[in-house]
């Protein structure tokens, strides 16, 4: 078997499209000959650094996104349900602390994009971590690390790396081919990604036995 191709996924739980990419790439790391590296990153920093505008600031984009997410939820088998106040969840509250806790990403996505619940307070992070299977001691340690300089620098570094690659939003998939990074933005480039790495796109559920989340 040829050496595995390294694929980095830059994401933020405040982005619903990132959740779709996260689930698909996690499914395909068992199917494709790849080494998947998950890169939790601060979307707010990428938007500011690239000069991009959030979809909530463009009325037509915002209206389209609501309808689009309903279709994508069914297609990708990911339980997306936008919160009642999307701009507040995405832009006012944000996800800075949440993105410092990588292991509970799926539960954080579920809270904000399905249950319409908070992801900013320590109690919210603790509950999500508990559902993700972390022990009490692991949760305590994770919350302590959230405010540590080490974790802050790690998130800052990931954000700067994403910008250096040319990021302007998430999800961002960076595939390393022949020593060069190839960028794929969004949750609708998987077929093209498969073509570029010499693999087959088998749809959003490569394993038909994949259970509902």
By annotation, the residues acting in catalysis are 15
Residues facing 175 on adjacent strands: 7, 182
Tell me the Ramachandran region of residue 179: left when phi exceeds 0, alpha when psi lies from -120 to 50, beta otherwise.
Answer: left
- CA 46, 51, 53 angle in degrees (round to 5)? 85
| Contact present, 187 and 171 (Cβ < 8 Å) | yes
Token code pair at residue 65: 């996104």
CA distances from 168 to 44, 112, 182 (A): 10, 22, 15
Q: CB neighbours of 127 closer than 8 A, spacing ≥ 6?
A: none
Is the CA virtual torsion 123, 124, 125, 130 positive or negative? positive
* 33-70 as b/e: b if 16+ CB within 10 A: ebebebbbbbbbbbbebeeeebbeeeeeeeeebeebbe
Largest CA distance in the chain: 49
Tell me the Ramachandran region of residue 107: left when phi exceeds 0, alpha when psi lies from -120 to 50, beta otherwise.
Answer: alpha
């Amino acid at each position: 078997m040829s050496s595995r191709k390294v694929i980095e996924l830059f994401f933020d739980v405040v982005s619903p499209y990132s959740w779709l990419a996260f689930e698909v790439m996690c499914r395909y790391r068992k199917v494709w000959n790849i080494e998947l590296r998950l890169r939790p990153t601060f979307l707010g920093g990428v938007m500011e650094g690239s000069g991009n505008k959030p979809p909530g600031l463009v009325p037509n984009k915002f209206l389209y996104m609501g309808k689009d997410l309903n279709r994508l939820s069914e297609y990708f088998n990911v339980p997306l349900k936008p919160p009642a106040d999307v701009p507040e969840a995405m832009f006012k509250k944000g996800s800075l602390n949440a993105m410092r806790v990588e292991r509970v990403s799926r539960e954080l996505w579920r809270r904000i994009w399905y249950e319409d619940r908070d992801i900013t307070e320590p109690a919210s992070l603790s509950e999500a971590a508990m559902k993700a299977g972390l022990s009490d001691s692991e949760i305590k340690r994770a919350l302590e690390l959230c405010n540590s300089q080490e974790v802050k620098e790690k998130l800052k570094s990931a954000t700067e790396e994403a910008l250096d690659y040319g990021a302007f939003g998430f999800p961002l998939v960076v595939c390393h081919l022949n020593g060069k990074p190839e960028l794929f933005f969004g949750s609708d480039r998987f077929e093209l990604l498969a073509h570029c790495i010499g693999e087959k796109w088998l749809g959003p559920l490569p394993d038909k036995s994949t259970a509902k989340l």
